[in-house]
Structure 1
Amino acid sequence: MLIVILTILFLAINGWTMLMFKLDKMQAIAGERRVPEANLLMLAFIGGTPGAFAARHLFRHKTRKEPFSTQLMVIAVVQVGALIGWFLF
């Protein structure tokens, strides 16, 4: 049951992350107020990294933006390292 709940939460946070990237892209095109980068990075940090990378590719959004790209990559590397550590120990 725990696996089902964690899977649903994982899918939800990644779906929300993708929606926020899409919203930010639409607001950028319209010249409206944007979603703060800190919010997008926080979504990635709490588990939405796959959704962030997918959204960047699908919407062609924030693909060359620095330091955002580097910060997102650091979050991803830390998360992968934590997962590897979790499974090894």
Structure 2
Amino acid sequence: MRFLLIWYFIIINVFGVQIMKSDKNRAIHKQRRISEKSLWIVALIGGAPGAFVGMKAYRHKTKHFQFKYGFPILAIIDILIYVYLFSIVS
């Protein structure tokens, strides 16, 4: 079970980084964007640390209050949840 949890954490956070990168590239090329709802869904299902890293790395959504403060707070909550789950799952 711990193995699956680790892989979920890795995959969802890599996806979080990629979705921010993709949305930034779409913004630059004036293409159809990824909805903010989709970005939040990825963050809420455990990808907030990755989405936050992607936000900082690609300087995307950094001026939006809800992302600037919401993603870091949610990333901390996600990490605490992961740590708790790692400690109870054998």
Normalized against structure 1, the TM-score is what?
0.78
* Paired residues for 1:1-89 under 5 Å: 2-76=1-75, 78-79=77-78
| Structure 1 residues 80 and 19: alpha-carbon distance in aligned structure 2, compared to 1, 3 A threshold | closer
Q: Which gives a bigger RCO, structure 1 or 2 (Cα 8 Å, sep 6+)?
A: 2
How far 1:68 sits from its partner (Å)? 3.3
| Structure 1 residues 83 and 10: alpha-carbon distance in aligned structure 2, compared to 1, 3 A threshold | closer
Conserved 8 A contact 1:37-1:68: no
How far 1:70 sits from its partner (Å)? 3.8
- 2-structure distance, mates of 1:83, 1:4: 13
What 5-or-longer segments of structure 2 have no aligned partner? none
CA RMSD after TM alignment: 2.1
- 2-structure distance, mates of 1:18, 1:10: 12
What 5-or-longer segments of structure 1 have no aligned partner? none
SS at structure 2 position matched to 1:60: coil
How far 1:12 sits from its partner (Å)? 0.4
| Structure 1 residues 20 and 84: alpha-carbon distance in aligned structure 2, compared to 1, 3 A threshold | closer
Q: 1:28-80: CA deviations, max 9, x gaps?
A: 00011100011001101000011011101111111111333344345346546
Conserved 8 A contact 1:28-1:34: yes
| Structure 1 residues 41 and 33: alpha-carbon distance in aligned structure 2, compared to 1, 3 A threshold | same
